[in-house]
Structure 1
Amino acid sequence: MPTSQPGGARPAADRVTPDELLHTRTGSEVSPEDMVLATGRDLTPRTLEWARRKLAEEGPAAIEKLLP
């Protein structure tokens, strides 16, 4: 991993993620497991049930609220 050194800074354009790479939807279904993992939580019966409820209420777009 590169370290920060004086005079070695890259231009800002090299550090900016292009918009098309920021979207999480790939056209595939979002599973409860996807939702739980997007929050950084462990897969447990409780977190999976939360994810199922969230998907039922908000649909697959719910994951967009968790990820950029």
Structure 2
Amino acid sequence: MPTSQPEASGQSEDRTTPDALLHTRTGTDVSPEDVVLASGKDLTPRNLEWARRKLAAEGPAALDKLLP
């Protein structure tokens, strides 16, 4: 049975998620709030306006460009 603790032998398992398993969207619409939060900024009127312009120019790919 797997546990969250490394094996007693001192070997730790790789906990990095492979790129092929990472997803940035679930198929839902991308909101300006999503873009602001993904950029690491605070939800302020100024940042929301920036995100609206970014979404208008780049579409949902704007979010993909911000996330790894």
Q: Which TM bucket (shorter chain)? A: 0.7 to 0.9
Please name the residue that 2:59 is paired with. Answer: 59
Please name the residue that 2:41 is paired with. Answer: 41
CA-based RMSD of the aligned residues comes to 1.8
Structure 1 residue runs of 5 or longer lacking an equivalent are: 1-6
TM-score (norm 1): 0.76
TM-score (norm 2): 0.76
Q: Percent identity?
A: 75
Which residue identity lines up with residue 47 of structure 1 in the other structure? N
The list of structure 1 runs, each at least 4 consecutive aligned residues, that deviate by more than 2 angstroms after superposition, is 18-21
- Is it true that 1:28 corresponds to 2:49 in the alignment? no
Higher RCO structure (Cα 8 Å, ≥6 apart): 1
- Is it true that 1:8 corresponds to 2:10 in the alignment? yes
More helix by share: 1
Structure 2 residue runs of 5 or longer lacking an equivalent are: 1-8
Q: Which has the larger radius of gyration?
A: 2
